[in-house]
Amino acid sequence: IDIYWENFFKDKGFNIFVLDDIDRQHSANLLIDYSFWKKNSDFLNKVDRECDLAIGIDYFPLDFRFNKFKRKAKDFINPNILVSLGGHDKEGLTMKVIQAISTIKDLSYERIHVVINEKLSNSISKEIKKTKLRFALYPSPNGLGEIYEKSDICIGSSGVSALERCFFGIPSLLVIKALNQRILGKKIEEYGLAKAVNAEDSQLLEDKISSFLKKKADFQQMEEKSHGFIGNQGCKRIVE
């Protein structure tokens, strides 16, 4: 849906509320862009004067269910490792990540927590068992709060979930699959909250995973950077 459809429905009397982070033209009553490096002046030529703006990380619409979960103290010596590469994982990145982890000698970890689409759970489970890794599988979970709460570090997708993990203070290696993910992923990396790698280069991905898991001193720095970065009042600010 683009500005053509926004104008179509606006002309029929509808109020238009848009959530977008790709810097496009809009005809809306309210535009939300939670990109933390942006400010209102960046949108002067992209929206009508009457459009209300909710720009920046203070307007990140964090899932209200996360409020009942705690940001636990992290164990970076023997960590619980979250692997979460998106719902459908058409690129097969989950198994690429698992296989890369399995090649690391003397890796110290508690358990690998794998979030995957339910339709892929049986095949993924069989493949992971071949690696002899200790793992728990979460097929299409209804919310990730409980999984975030028990995770110490993560290899996962960029996008909204990357910011959710910042809320829980989880150092991450972001595996970037799309252009809009690339921009956010690189900005998060520049801020010191995570490391990032493009998914297209399999060898680079494997090397980055190995480097990420071995450089445990970086985890503490990333975790400290995330303190106070994202709050839980974004939805409230939007409706106000």
- The rounded distance, in Å, linking the Cα atoms of 121 and 74 is 28
Q: Which residue has the tokens 């909250």?
A: 193
pLDDT of residue 94: 94
- Closest to 104 measured CA to CA, from 28, 207, 218: 207
Report, as an integer, the average pLDDT of 86-105.
90
List pLDDT tens digits, range 156-168.
999 899 999 999 9
Cβ-in-10-Å burial (0-12, 13-18, 19+) of 15 comes to: exposed
DSSP letter string over 169-202?
T--EEEEE-SHHHHHHHHHHHHHTSEEEEETT-H
| 87 has pLDDT over 80 | no
- pLDDT number for residue 1: 76
Which pLDDT does position 234 carry in this prediction?
A: 96
Between the CA atoms of 77, 83, 84 and 88, what dihedral angle is there, to the nearest 10 degrees? 180
pLDDT digits (tens, 9 = 90+) for 24-77: 999 999 999 999 999 999 999 999 999 999 999 999 999 999 999 989 999 999
pLDDT tens, position by position, 194-203: 999 998 878 8
Instruction: List own/partner pairs for 228-233 with CB under 8 A and 24 or more apart.
Output: 229/36, 229/57, 229/166, 229/167, 229/191, 229/193, 230/57, 230/60, 230/62, 230/163, 230/166, 230/167, 231/58, 231/62, 232/62, 232/64, 232/66, 232/67, 232/167, 233/58
**pLDDT at 22 (0 to 100):** 87
Cβ–Cβ < 8 Å for 30, 18: yes
- What letter does residue 68 receive in the DSSP assignment? G
Give the separation between CA 6 and CA 197, rounded to whole angstroms.
Answer: 35
Asked if pLDDT for residue 82 goes beyond 90, the answer is yes
